[in-house]
Amino acid sequence: MQIPDERLQEFQCIYKEECGEEISLAEARKMAQRLLTLYAVLKRPLLNRDEQAE
CA distances from 26 to 13, 22, 34, 46, 54 (A): 14, 12, 13, 33, 42
What string of pLDDT tens digits covers the 54 residues of the chain?
Answer: 789 999 999 999 999 999 999 999 999 999 999 999 999 999 988 776 666 555
Residue 22 to residues 6, 33, 38, 41, Cα–Cα distance (Å): 16, 18, 22, 28
CB 35 within 8 A of CB 7: no
* pLDDT at res. 47: 73
For residue 54, what pLDDT is reported?
A: 57
